[in-house]
Structure 1
Amino acid sequence: MTVPSSGLRSPEARRFLNDRLDWNLLRTFLVIGQEGSLSRAAARLHLSQPAISQALKRLEEQLQVSLVIRRGPRISLSSAGQEVLQIAAELYGTVSRLGPALEEPAETVTGRVHLLSISRIQSRCYDDFLARFHQDYPQVELEVDVLRSSDVISALLQKTASFGLSLCRTPQPRLEQRLVLQQRYAFFCGRRHRLFGRKHLNLADLQSENFVSFTSDQLGGNLSPLTVFRDQQGFTGRIVASSASLDEILRLVDCGFGIGCLPEHIVAADVQAGKMWRLPPGDGVSDVNVYLLWNREQKHTQAEALFLERFEHMLLTTELGERF
């Protein structure tokens, strides 16, 4: 079926839409738009891909407009799709407030949420979420431990924590995951390095430089895309210092041990202050995702369930690019 591109123009059609539009279709489309993939949306909603495709088709038929542009396994939103996605997110935010409005007063909710996190999650959106959660549920205790990504995943598989914020290069069958941040990694050097301040550099100028890197920057590790990039570009320098802590990586790069591949948004302030120098390539090295993870087999307490509900609401109502 070819979906008309003219949209709903007559008053009668608009009244029918207002009365009959299925909210579940909008909810499904919201997830499709956020995941950018029918298969990932199906996995997230625990539905089959044909069911997701059928829901999308029904919504396009009801709205009489094409919502997505298909490019092989990937999809992108049409201009109408982007508008519908924004409206769906606003509606979801409104509907999601019904639950808290009908709950017992916030002060009656007690308990503990044990969150594991990699170092230096820098996100104003995440900070705002934590502030609102504490304001609404002041009796809930939050314990945050900072670990390596591999240790976060191991602990969640063993059910020794509530949730984790971590890199996760290979999806774990027992863990649910939601994309929180997409970090672009690029090369930088500190003030003591010989390349600091030099303009018009190219990748060939970096090939023999030594590196400061993360312990997971190795083939098979969560930062293996950085390893693969260096190998593909024929870099011959060695890793002279490593750490699982981003703060220690920053310290070692600043001390001149070597160049480092770091998240652009984390280093932006240091670049602006003249403490770090951006190196080629201009478009960076690789995107690395940070996920919210939890064990799908683990039963949540009331406090944990509320934390997850609020976190997912934040993700559903905030565009990926606006979460830094």
Structure 2
Amino acid sequence: MGRTPLIDPERFLHELDWNLLRTFVAIVQAGGISKTAEAMRLSQPSVSAALKRLEGQVGKKLIDRGPGTFALTEAGCQLYTEAIEIRGSVLRLATVLRDVTDVVKGHVRLVIASHVVTPMLDECLRDFCCTYPLATIEIEVMASRQVQARLVERSASVGICLAHVQQAKLQYAHMFTEYFGIFCGRFHPLFGREDIDRAELKGQPSISFVTDQMNEALRPVTLMRAELGLSDHLVGSSPNLEEIKRMICAGVGIGPLPVHVARLDVEGGFLWQLPPYSGLPQIEINVVWNPDAKLNRAERAFIDLLLLKISNTPPELRDYQR
């Protein structure tokens, strides 16, 4: 049985086309050649040829492809893990180089789950901008699993999200605990009623978060919806809290919202909480960062300030059950 030829590291370093790595990452994240070609505005043969050239350079098959089949090989998995770290480092080069010439400036990339609503974050943003007026902040909303992926690849500074499954490369600090209830809008027949039996909710048209799946961080919310009989008639979904609330308020269906977030809309007569009223799903929100990421001064200052806000807030005030 023939041996796999050894790769000369120095020769590999000089001959590897870094653009092929970028294309490979895009192929894996898109889940196919055609989707990658569309996203990168290239022809499918060009993308296929790039993958073939990369496999030739590394001397390994990276993706098993066929009719209805698209799976990374063991070599492909290892290369993808290294490639996304390289990609994250390259993305951060502009920020790092800018800080060398102008250390009083810095850019913070904050990635958060959409239902992160807390005065601690608002106070941190206000204090940070007052203390560091030349720093800039970019906030992007995405699913919690994507937040962690961005931090693993070091393309974001800090994240705030749910963490049903924690990544070994990241550090986590508990920020607050929120509780999800079921709500309807003022145009719904159940609005304003205080004598609602849970059985009346079964089969009602419902709204849900896109990440509300059994294997996701909102799994407790999924279980509550299933127990109430709301799983079989899903009429609307979104990854964004505001759009979930919009559909509920508009009367599209009933659905889950963090109780502390919905409070003002309940008081304003736009939302009405439905049973159950106790034993609500409890969701832990965490601040997450990558300790191996090379942070600029603004990023370090933002993380330190946010962690200080958390430590200065008593645990009972970080539990939003009320």
What's the offset of the Cα at 1:214? 0.1
* Aligned counterpart, 2:257: 262
- State whether residues 182 and 320 of structure 1, in contact with CA within 8 Å, keep that contact through their aligned partners in structure 2: no
**Counterparts in 2 of 1:153 and 1:108: CA distance versus 1, 3 Å:** closer
* Aligned positions of 1:68-107 closer than 5 A: none
Q: Distance in 2 between matches of 1:202 and 1:285?
A: 16
Q: CA RMSD in A?
A: 1.9
Distance between the aligned counterparts of 2:304 and 2:120, measured in 1? 16
Task: Select the residue among 196, 216, 221 that pairs with 2:216.
Answer: 221
Displacement of 1:320 in angstroms is 3.5
The separation in 2 between residues aligned to 1:235 and 1:139, in whole angstroms, is 49
Alpha-carbon distance in structure 2 between the residues aligned to 1:108 and 1:154: 28
| C-alpha contact 1:209 1:236 (8 A) present in aligned 2 | no
Instruction: Return the offset for 1:235.
Output: 4.8
- C-alpha displacement at 1:120, in angstroms? 4.6
Partner of 1:150, secondary structure, is helix
% same residue: 33
Q: Does 1:252 align with 2:247?
A: yes
Amino acid at match of 2:273: R
Q: Which of the residues 127, 148, 152 maps onto 1:132?
A: 127
Q: CA deviation at 1:108?
A: 6.3
- Give SS of 2:174's match: strand
Query: 1:180 — aligned with what?
Result: 175
Deviation by residue 1:18-53 (Cα, 9 ceiling, x = unmatched): xxxxxxxxxxxxxxxxxxxxxxxxxxxxxxxxxxxx
Q: Do structure 1's residue 310 and structure 2's residue 301 form an aligned pair? A: no
**Which residue identity lines up with residue 136 of structure 2 in the other structure?**
E
Residues 83-135 of structure 1: CA deviation (Å, up to 9, x unaligned)? xxxxxxxxxxxxxxxxxxxxxxxx96321111112225322222112111111
Instruction: Tell me the distance in 1 between the aligned counterparts of 2:170 and 2:259.
Output: 28
- Shift of residue 176, structure 1, vs aligned partner: 0.8
Structure 1 position 233, deviation (Å): 4.9
- What TM-score, normalized to structure 1? 0.63
TM-score (norm. length: structure 2): 0.64
**Aligned pair count?**
218
Amino acid at match of 2:263: A
Contact 2:120 2:310 in 1 (8 A): no
1:132 match: secondary structure:
helix
Amino acid in the other structure paired with 2:126: A
SS for the counterpart of 1:248 is: helix
Post-superposition offset of 1:164: 0.8
Which has the larger displacement, 115-124 or 192-201?
115-124
AA in 2 matched with 1:223: L
Q: Where does residue 145 of structure 1 map in the other structure?
A: 140
1:211 aligns with 2:222: no
* Runs of 5+ consecutive residues of structure 2 not aligned to the other structure: 1-101
| Distance in 2, Cα, partners of 1:146 & 1:234 | 30
Q: Which runs of 5+ in 1 are unaligned?
A: 1-106
Paired residue for 1:299? Answer: 294
The CA deviation at 1:212 is 0.2
| CA–CA distance in structure 2, aligned partners of residues 151 and 108 of structure 1 | 30
The residue type equivalent to 1:181 in the other structure is: F
- Partners of 1:314 and 1:109 in 2: CA distance: 23
Report if the CA contact (8 A) 2:209-2:238 is conserved: yes
| Residue 273 (structure 1) shift | 1.0
